[in-house]
Amino acid sequence: MNIKIDTEGAFGSAIVVLEPGEKFVSEAGAMYRASPNVDIEVVSRKKEGQGFFGGIAAGLRAMMAGETYHLSSYQVGGGTGEVGLAPTHQGEVRKVEVGSETWICSGGSYLGSSGGIDLDTQYQGLVKGMFSKEGLVFVKASGQGELLVNGFGRISEVTIGNGITIDNGHLIAFTEGLEYEISKAGGGWISSMMSGEGLVMKFRGQGKILVQSHDPSRLGGVLGPLLPPRKG
Amino acid sequence: MKFDIKGNPSYGEVDVELGPAEVILIEPGAMSRMSSNMSSSFQRQGGFFSAMFRKMFGGENFFLGKYEHPDGGTLTFAPSIPGAVEHYNLSNNHLNIMAGSFLACTPGVNIKAKFGGLKALFSGEGAFLLEASGNGDLFFNSFGGIIEKEINGEFIVDTGHVVAFEPTLNYKISGMGNWKSTMLSGEGLVMTFNGTGKIYLQTRTVDGIASWLTPRLI
Q: What is the mean pLDDT of residues A47-70?
A: 60
Q: What pLDDT digit, counting tens, does each position of B93-115 carry?
A: 999 999 889 999 999 999 888 88
Q: Does B27 touch chain A (CB under 8 A)?
A: yes
Provide the pLDDT confidence category of residue A72 given band limits of 50, 70 and 90.
Answer: very high
CB pairs under 8 A between A and B: 128
Beta strands in chain B (DSSP E): 2-6, 13-18, 23-26, 31-35, 39-44, 63-68, 73-77, 85-91, 95-98, 102-105, 109-115, 128-141, 146-158, 162-165, 169-175, 189-202
Can you tell me the mean pLDDT for B147-152? 96
Of B81 and B51, more confident: B81
What are residue A81's phi and psi, to 5 degrees? -145, 160
Average pLDDT, chain B: 87
Cβ within 8 Å of residue B133, ≥6 positions away: B90, B92, B93, B94, B95, B109, B110, B112
Contact A191 B28 (CB under 8 A): no
- Minimal Cβ distance to B32: which of A203, A204, A211: A211
Residues A64-86, mean pLDDT to the nearest whole number: 84
**pLDDT band per the 50, 70, 90 thresholds, residue A128:** confident
- DSSP 8-state assignment for residue A231: P
Give me the mean pLDDT over the A61-76 stretch: 74
First to last CA, chain A: 47
Instruction: Report the pLDDT value the prediction gives residue A60, as an integer from 0 to 100.
Output: 67
Q: What is the pLDDT of residue A229?
A: 83
- Report the share of chain A in percent with pLDDT over 70: 83
- Using 50, 70 and 90 to split pLDDT, how confident is the model at A205? very high
pLDDT, average across residues A62-73: 70
DSSP at A106:
P
Question: Over the stretch A110-122, which tens digit does the pLDDT of each residue have?
Answer: 999 999 999 998 8
Taking domain B2-216, whether its CATH number is 3.40.390.30 is answered by no
pLDDT value at B186 more than 60 = no
How sure is the predictor about B175, in pLDDT bands with cuts at 50, 70 and 90? confident
A41-55, B49-63, B164-178: range with highest mean pLDDT: B164-178
Per-residue DSSP letter, A28:
T
Q: What is the pLDDT of residue A51?
A: 56
Encode burial over B65-79: b for 16+ CB neighbours within 10 A, e otherwise.
bbbbbeebbbbbbbb
Q: Is B4 on the interface with A (CB under 8 A)?
A: no
Which of B33, B66, B210 faces A227 most closely, judged by CB atoms?
B210
Mean pLDDT value across residues B112-135: 79
B11 interfacial to chain A (CB closer than 8 Å): yes
Nearest chain B Cα to A169, which residue?
A: B32
The answer to whether residue A222 scores a pLDDT higher than 70 is yes
Three-state SS at A102:
coil
Query: Where exactly are the structural domains of chain A?
Result: 2-154
pLDDT tens digits for A162-171?
889 999 899 9
What is the number of other CB atoms lying within 10 angstroms of the CB of residue B214?
11
Q: Is residue A98 within 8 angstroms of chain B, CB to CB?
A: no
Q: Give one DSSP letter per residue of A52-99, joined into a string.
A: HHHHHHHHHHHHHTTS-SEEEEEEESSS-EEEEE--SSSB-EEEEEES
Boundaries of every domain in chain B: 2-216
The answer for B71, left when phi > 0, alpha when psi is -120 to 50, beta otherwise, is alpha
Instruction: Report how far Cα B198 is from the mean position of its chain's Cα atoms.
Output: 14
Of B7, B36, B42, Cβ closest to residue A194: B42
pTM for this entry: 0.87
Confidence of residue A183 (pLDDT cuts 50, 70, 90): confident
pLDDT at A52 over 60: no
ipTM comes to 0.83
Query: What are the start-end ranges of the H helices in chain A?
Result: 51-64, 126-131, 189-194, 216-223
Q: Cα torsion for A200, B57, B143, B164, to the nearest 10°?
A: -120
Instruction: Say if residues B96 and B131 touch (Cβ distance below 8 Å).
Output: yes
Q: How confident is the model at residue A49 (pLDDT cuts 50, 70, 90)?
A: very low
Selection from B163, B148, B158 nearest residue B59 by Cα:
B163
Interface of A with B in 199-228 (CB under 8 A): 202-204, 211, 213-215, 218-219, 221-223, 226-228
Tell me the DSSP string of B146-183: EEEEEEEEEEEEETT-EEEE-TTEEEEEEESSSHHHHH
> What is the pLDDT of chain A when averaged over all its residues?
86
CATH topology of domain A2-154: Double-stranded beta-helix (3.60.160)
A163 touches chain B (CB under 8 A): yes
Q: What is the pLDDT of residue A48?
A: 46
Radius of gyration of chain B (CA): 18
